């Protein structure tokens, strides 16, 4: 068994560090070539809004050793770009474990940062790749993670960020459950889902402007405490249909809330949402990304590790084809491979424009 010297180890590390960027570039160099060949380019250019989502098929951070991200166009509903990050390489691990010099090979590892930094890096790489190919990105829908926008904002200054409706609703419910630890009125069954629905009604409605949304949010807290003087514009409130018999279906004993301390907490939540009104208008949904993640999970289950080899990238690529084309991608790929092999063997003999000499 050969011991690795300090010089050879340093050479290997510098070689690996120098190739990280080139690996990512080579991985991304042919990412959008299939769009020019198989789809109308105008179909892609109309997509100026994209859904961003990141999934880690391995254990959650900080144990994550691999992850993938996807961008879905709102108009097309297609995966317009995706990326994969791997921390480990099985070949490098094998020779490191034997304390031997790592031979030249196609290393699978293309990421050496933290697991938390994977998402911002993949997001910026995908946006940069789309921009390189001439595709304009105006609005990005994603979760409420601020680290991604902090990373891409300096490079894409005109990019607007909008929250994902499902992530926002989930985070809003978490805020109410935290309040229930100190306010007993929220512990009754159905109260927190009702509060969440009250806030989601104006957010889900078509608001002409952020100011319009802010005004609609202002109605919620008075409504919960029995003041319906401003509920004329709120279609979800049925008080004015029958004021004498109106009861709250999901509040304790059908009566309005009473706690002033809880009222102040709800007002603070409302003010925070009003400040973010520009992000909350016309929110999208990353459901298409979640559907794609389910397809990836069927090909790369989380209870198995594929991140140490190129198998993960291959499986994610297959999931993209299934999402964009359907199950027929297997037949089309096989047919394309057969035609390619045939043309290599027989040349251009059977083409229509070839004349016999």
The model's confidence at residue 334, banded by pLDDT at 50, 70 and 90, is: confident
The model's confidence at residue 15, banded by pLDDT at 50, 70 and 90, is: very low
Q: How far is 123 from 143, CA to CA, in rounded Å?
A: 12
Could you tell me how far CA 203 lies from the centroid of its own chain?
21
Range name among 42-46, 99-103, 273-277 with the lowest pLDDT average: 42-46
* Residue 342 pLDDT > 50: yes
Looking at residue 198, what is its pLDDT? 94
Q: Tokens standing for 8?
A: 């050879």
In this prediction, residues 335-352 reach a mean pLDDT of 70
Strands 66-73 and 49-55: antiparallel
Q: Tally Cβ neighbours within 10 Å of residue 292.
A: 25
β-pair partners for 161: 140
| Residue in the block written with tokens 């709250």 | 248
* Residue 24 pLDDT > 50: no
Helix (H, G, I), strand (E, B) or coil at 301: coil
User: Tens digit of pLDDT for each residue in 43-79?
Assistant: 333 445 666 666 654 444 455 788 899 988 888 888 9
User: Tens digit of pLDDT for each residue in 104-144?
Assistant: 998 989 888 888 888 889 989 999 998 898 888 888 888 77
Q: Does the reported pTM lie above 0.85?
A: no
In this prediction, residues 25-49 reach a mean pLDDT of 44
Strands (E), the chain: 49-55, 66-73, 79-86, 139-142, 160-163
Q: What is the mean pLDDT of the chain?
A: 80
What angle do the packed helices 191-204 and 260-275 form, to 10 degrees? 30
What angle do the packed helices 6-29 and 118-132 form, to 10 degrees? 50
Q: What percent of the chain has pLDDT over 90?
A: 35
* Residue 239 pLDDT > 50: yes
Cis peptide before 46 (omega within 30 of 0): no
The model's confidence at residue 324, banded by pLDDT at 50, 70 and 90, is: very high
> How is the beta sheet containing 49-55 ordered, strand by strand?
79-86, 66-73, 49-55, 139-142, 160-163
């Amino acid at each position: 068994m050969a011991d690795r010297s300090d010089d050879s180890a340093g050479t290997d590390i510098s070689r690996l560090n120098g190739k990280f960027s080139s690996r990512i570039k080579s991985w991304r160099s042919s990412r959008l070539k299939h769009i020019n060949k198989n789809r109308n380019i105008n179909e892609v250019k109309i997509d100026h809004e994209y859904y961003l989502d990141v999934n880690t098929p391995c254990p959650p951070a900080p144990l994550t050793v691999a992850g993938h991200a996807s961008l879905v166009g709102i108009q097309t509903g297609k995966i317009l770009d995706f990326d994969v990050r791997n921390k480990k390489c099985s070949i490098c691990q094998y020779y490191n474990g034997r304390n031997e010099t790592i031979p030249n090979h196609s290393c699978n590892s293309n990421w050496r940062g933290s697991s938390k930094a994977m998402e911002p890096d993949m997001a910026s790489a995908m946006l940069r790749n789309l921009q390189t190919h001439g595709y304009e990105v105006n609005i990005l829908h994603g979760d409420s993670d601020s680290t991604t926008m902090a990373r891409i904002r300096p490079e894409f200054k005109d990019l607007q960020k909008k929250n994902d409706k499902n992530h926002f609703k989930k985070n809003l419910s978490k805020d109410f459950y935290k309040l229930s630890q100190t306010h007993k009125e929220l512990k009754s069954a159905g109260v927190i889902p009702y509060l969440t629905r009250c806030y989601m009604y104006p957010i889900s409605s078509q608001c002409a402007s952020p100011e319009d949304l802010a005004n609609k949010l202002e109605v919620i807290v008075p409504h919960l405490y029995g003041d319906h003087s401003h509920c004329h514009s709120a279609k979800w409130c049925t008080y004015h249909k029958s004021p004498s018999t109106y009861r709250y279906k999901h509040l304790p004993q059908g009566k309005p809330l009473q706690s002033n301390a809880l009222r102040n907490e709800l007002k603070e939540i409302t003010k925070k949402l009003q400040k973010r009104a520009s992000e909350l208008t016309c929110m999208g949904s990353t459901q298409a990304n979640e559907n794609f993640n389910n397809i990836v999970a069927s090909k790369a289950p989380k209870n198995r590790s594929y991140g140490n080899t190129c198998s993960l990238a291959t499986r994610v690529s297959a999931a993209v084809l299934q999402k964009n084309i359907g199950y027929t991608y297997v037949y089309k790929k096989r047919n394309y491979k057969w035609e390619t092999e045939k043309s290599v063997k027989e040349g251009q003999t059977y083409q229509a424009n070839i004349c016999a000499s």
